Structure 1
């Protein structure tokens, strides 16, 4: 996405194989108000000439991918089981799930909300990475899900959920089915059922994990993991695997154990 007005709305899914819906903004604050593939002639990827170490050189628009000081993902400390996140999921959200070339993305219909830290935020979209982008003490999980929210001005809060192979998780069935559908598929995302029961979490200021890597994103990564069945992970990995940006330097930032 590119800088523009600060209205919050849902975006048409970009269907071109090499295009990812990205959320960006102006003045260092990413916003959720336009769908854009960055530089139309610039292809980025997770390997080869377009891989993460080259993102900053692919386009002037992606420069912060290499020059930014608050980039995501990061390596997280050991779980602390600290203050629980004030998170109240709204009604199950309906929308469209489709492969956008870099991940399988659920794009929510208008009206989907989640209350986080006492504020009602719009659920914009969710997607996955396999393995995880955030690591914990240097260890990656089997997968990571990002639930992307925007406030009334378009500023982004992303709830990250790490997943490990285990028992089949029926709450993810509708979303995983979209990974195998090929074309877009109507889906329902029930955040209340998809998140782990525990709400202890890590919070820090970071960025988008894909170009243009815009900073100013509020990250909340839940400490407890969810389990997915081997069949569910296999379906996701058949769509995309190793679609994770490596961890970035934490620098002067501090990972908090409660949302401030």
Structure 2
């Protein structure tokens, strides 16, 4: 059964745009997890432990009890995630100052457990934000989806150094372009073959740290070549929020 989420507000008008996101009218502003508003960063005066005090709208970063990322238990190898992508999706890839974000074009969707969700954007963190038994991966990709109410589902994919991965070439070309460029992503091709997963209720991992986000983190990491990881790290490195307390939440392995 799907966890009930808090409803997230939708944009009121097409004129409201998020910097470098290219989000269309009707896209939840929280779906752009890297808003370029009040200054925040991963170090110094704007570092994660200070996010909650930077602006009133970031208060949840400091007071929330269902924050992300978290430390996940060791892989259990349960049932695979029921995910059907819509094939190649075109959109804009641009550096927003905190990560390199691919913003999907209109009509991009993913079916997860029989529910059609809009693919809003994807981005990366190096190293990973979620850890497994206390150990981070080399990188982590977040595929952000929204349903018709504005509720968010994020599919997290961990990445380790290994073989070159052609499915990520188009996105990485955009990451190294130095300016916005058109890219293509194919979610199914970018996921590992084994798709067992952990799921929990959490939040955005960047300000405003909005809660009520359904997280689905795949247990099997993908591999990226050393050159591909170097391209990511050349764009942004150590852009990961530290893990947050699990509290009374439960990490599950079924939706």
- Same-fold call, TM > 0.5? yes
Residue of 188, 193, 203 corresponding to 1:192: 188
Q: Using a 3 Å threshold, how does the CA distance of structure 1 residues 38 and 173 change in structure 2: closer, same or farther?
A: closer
Pick from 220, 236, 243: which aligns with 2:239?
243
CA pair 251-175 structure 1, distance change in 2 beyond 3 A: same
Residue 206 to residue 151, structure 1, CA distance change in 2 (3 Å): same
Whether 1:159 aligns to 2:155 is yes
Match of 2:3 in 1: none
Q: State the shift of 1:32 in Å.
A: 4.9
2:164: which partner in 1?
168
Query: Following TM superposition, by how much is the alpha carbon of 1:34 offset from its aligned partner in structure 2, in angstroms?
Result: 7.9
SS at match of 2:169: helix
Preserved CA contact (<8 Å) 1:39 1:61: no
Q: Does 1:73 align with 2:69?
A: yes
Secondary structure at the counterpart of residue 73 of structure 1:
coil
Out of 11, 14, 31, the position equivalent to 2:19 is: 14
Q: Decide whether aligned partners of structure 1 residues 214 and 92 sit closer, same or farther in structure 2, where only a CA change above 3 A counts.
A: same
Residues 241 and 38 (structure 1 numbering): CA distance in 2 closer, same or farther, change over 3 Å? closer
The secondary structure found in structure 2 opposite 1:83 is coil
Structure 1: distance between partners of 2:250 and 2:18: 34
TM-score relative to the length of structure 1: 0.88
Aligned CA distance change for structure 1 residues 39 and 129 (closer, same or farther; 3 Å):
closer
1: CA distance between counterparts of 2:188 and 2:237? 26
Q: Where in structure 1 are there 5+ consecutive unaligned residues?
A: 23-29
Structure 2 unmatched ranges of 5 or more: 1-7
- In the superposition, relative to structure 1, how do residues 7 and 82 fare at CA in structure 2: closer, same or farther (>3 Å)? farther
Shift in alpha-carbon separation, 1:236–1:111, aligned structure 2, 3 A:
same
Give a deviation string over 1:240-259, Cα, whole Å, max 9, x none. 00000000000000000111
Question: Shift of the alpha carbon at 1:31?
Answer: 3.9
**Cα RMSD (Å):** 2.4
Tell me the distance in 1 between the aligned counterparts of 2:59 and 2:222.
34
CA drift of 1:5 comes to 3.7
Q: CA deviation at 1:7?
A: 8.2
Is the Cα contact below 8 Å between 2:10 and 2:150 reproduced in 1?
no
Assess, with a 3 A threshold, how the Cα gap between structure 1 residues 88 and 34 changes in structure 2: closer, same or farther: closer
Is the 1:8–1:33 contact (alpha carbons within 8 Å) kept by the matching residues of 2?
no
- What is the aligned partner in structure 2 of residue 213 from structure 1? 209
Distance change in 2, residues 1:251/1:37 (3 Å)? closer
Q: CA deviation at 1:84?
A: 1.5
Q: Is the 8 A contact 1:32 1:155 kept in 2?
A: no
Say whether residues 1:230 and 2:235 are aligned partners: no
